[in-house]
């Protein structure tokens, strides 16, 4: 490990960047260095921008991938090396706004029914019932289930914040049955090593296999269940502010985005085609 790489890692740790963000930033800067066969601190701003153009125009990477590279460059050169941001002249990162795919309540039930492994089924149920991120559900501890208050404690979630979400009575029954079967100790959902949490990749595979068995064609990854949680609560009449707190959204606008995909909201809008007067062709029959 070079001194420059170590310096960048220390700086990212000071700024409390998530481990996955740190890995992505290191890969991005390493890619820049490999492209020029030079240490990144010896490159000029023109070379840095030329590399970004190479990614956009020649390699035609998706905006999401380029956004990560831009963020990594900005962090490395301004935070690690102390450059002035104006010296870089990096373009503003473009935000991609995609509507999440959600399953109907009936499809969610089909998903659970398709899973025969009790541990896998309860994992998916917990993700949906609490509106949890996959990184949150795999790091739940048995002590995070507060049956007396009917809440689930989510520790050090996104943004390094703790929060509480709702504990469903039905889920509590499922969890008690799960506990009798598996007797989890340190982690509620453990991996092959009972002293380690279930890997995120394994949780994703569990979801994909369940979706395949249920014959569902939409709903990308296990994060779909978190989207379903928010959407179904909105459809049930729960106010957005409450959902924001349960999901740990920083801004209410993030929660309000689910209004765009609720069935009630869309069903209340009539297509202009339905507003047109449909006239029958009154052309006389020439026969």
* DSSP assignments along 76-114, one per residue: IIIIIS---HHHH-PPPPPPP--PPP---HHHHHHHHHH
Of 77, 178, 207, 258, the active-site residue reads 258
Whose structure tokens read 């490999």? 34
Q: Residue 270's pLDDT band (boundaries 50, 70, 90)? A: low
pLDDT, one tens digit per residue, over 65-111 is 888 999 999 999 999 999 988 787 877 666 656 667 889 999 999 99
Is 223 in the active site?
yes
Contacts of 121 (CB under 8 A, 6+ apart): 112, 115, 174
Judged by phi (left if over 0) then psi (alpha if -120 to 50, else beta), residue 135 lies in alpha
Q: Residue 269's pLDDT band (boundaries 50, 70, 90)? A: low
Is 258 in the active site?
yes
Instruction: Give the whole-number percent of the chain exceeding pLDDT 70.
Output: 87
User: Which residues of the chain form CATH 1.10.150.130?
Assistant: 3-88
User: Which tokens go with 13?
Assistant: 């740790």
The predicted model gives 51-68 an average pLDDT of 87
Of 93, 141, 158, 213, the active-site residue reads 158
Kindly report the number of other CB atoms within 10 A of residue 225's CB atom: 26
Helix-then-strand count for the chain, H and E: 15, 3
The confidence score (pLDDT) of residue 97 equals: 63
* Weakest mean pLDDT among 52-61, 208-217, 258-267: 258-267
Output helix, strand, coil percentages for the chain, rounded to the nearest 5. 60, 5, 35
CA separation for the pair 20, 162 (Å, rounded): 19
Of 121, 139, 223, 232, the active-site residue reads 223
The predicted model gives 178-185 an average pLDDT of 94
Of 169, 168, 165, 171, the closest CA to residue 249 belongs to 165
Is 97 in the active site?
no
Name the CATH code of domain 3-88 (choices 3.40.50.80, 1.10.150.130, 3.30.70.1060, 3.30.70.580).
1.10.150.130
CA separation for the pair 134, 200 (Å, rounded): 6
Whose structure tokens read 């979801």? 207
The confidence score (pLDDT) of residue 33 equals: 94
Q: Which residue has the higher pLDDT, 265 or 164?
A: 164
Is 158 in the active site?
yes
Whose structure tokens read 């390699």? 59
Strands 145-146 and 161-166: unpaired
User: Which residues of the chain form CATH 1.10.443.10?
Assistant: 105-267
The confidence score (pLDDT) of residue 100 equals: 75
Is 249 in the active site?
yes
The confidence score (pLDDT) of residue 74 equals: 92
Is 133 in the active site?
yes
pLDDT, one tens digit per residue, over 3-47 is 999 999 999 999 988 888 999 999 999 999 999 999 999 999 999
Q: Please, how many CA atoms are within 13 Å of residue 276, restricted to the half-sphere of its CB?
A: 6
Predicted structure pTM score: 0.69
Q: Which CATH architecture has domain 105-267?
A: Orthogonal Bundle (1.10)
Q: Which residue has the higher pLDDT, 55 or 88?
A: 55
Q: For the chain, where are the E strands, in sequence order? A: 145-146, 151-157, 161-166
- CA of 41: how far to CAs of 12, 22, 77, 88, 91, in Å? 17, 18, 8, 13, 20
Q: Which residue has the higher pLDDT, 250 or 262?
A: 250
Of 53, 277, 75, 102, the closest CA to residue 111 belongs to 102
Assign 236 to helix, strand or coil: coil
Q: Residue 133's pLDDT band (boundaries 50, 70, 90)? A: very high
The confidence score (pLDDT) of residue 200 equals: 93
CA separation for the pair 210, 225 (Å, rounded): 12
Of 110, 153, 249, 265, the active-site residue reads 249
Assign 146 to helix, strand or coil: strand
């Amino acid at each position: 490990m070079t001194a420059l790489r170590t310096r960048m890692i220390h700086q990212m740790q000071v700024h409390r960047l998530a481990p996955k963000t740190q890995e992505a930033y290191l890969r991005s800067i390493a890619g820049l260095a490999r492209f020029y066969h030079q240490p990144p601190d010896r490159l000029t701003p023109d070379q840095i921008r030329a590399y970004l153009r190479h990614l956009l125009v020649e390699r035609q990477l998706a905006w999401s991938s380029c956004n990560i590279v831009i963020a990594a460059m900005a962090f490395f050169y301004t935070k690690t090396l102390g450059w002035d941001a104006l010296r870089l002249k990096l373009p503003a990162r473009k935000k991609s706004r995609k509507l999440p795919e959600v399953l109907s309540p009936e499809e969610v039930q089909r998903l659970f029914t398709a899973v025969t492994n009790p541990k896998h089924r309860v994992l998916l149920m917990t993700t949906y019932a609490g509106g949890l991120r996959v990184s949150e559900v795999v790091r739940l501890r048995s002590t995070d289930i507060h049956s007396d208050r009917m809440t689930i404690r989510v520790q050090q979630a996104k943004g390094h914040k703790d929060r509480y979400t709702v504990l469903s009575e039905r889920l509590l029954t499922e969890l008690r049955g799960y506990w009798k079967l598996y007797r989890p100790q340190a982690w509620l959902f453990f991996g092959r090593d009972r002293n380690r949490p279930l890997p995120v990749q394994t949780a994703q595979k569990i979801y994909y296999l369940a979706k395949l068995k249920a014959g569902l064609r939409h709903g990308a990854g296990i994060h779909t269940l978190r989207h379903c949680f928010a959407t179904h609560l909105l459809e049930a009449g729960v106010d957005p502010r409450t959902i924001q707190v349960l999901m740990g959204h920083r801004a209410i606008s993030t929660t309000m985005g689910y209004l765009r995909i609720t069935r009630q909201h869309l069903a209340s809008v009539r297509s202009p085609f339905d507003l047109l007067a449909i006239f029958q062709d009154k052309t006389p029959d020439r026969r």
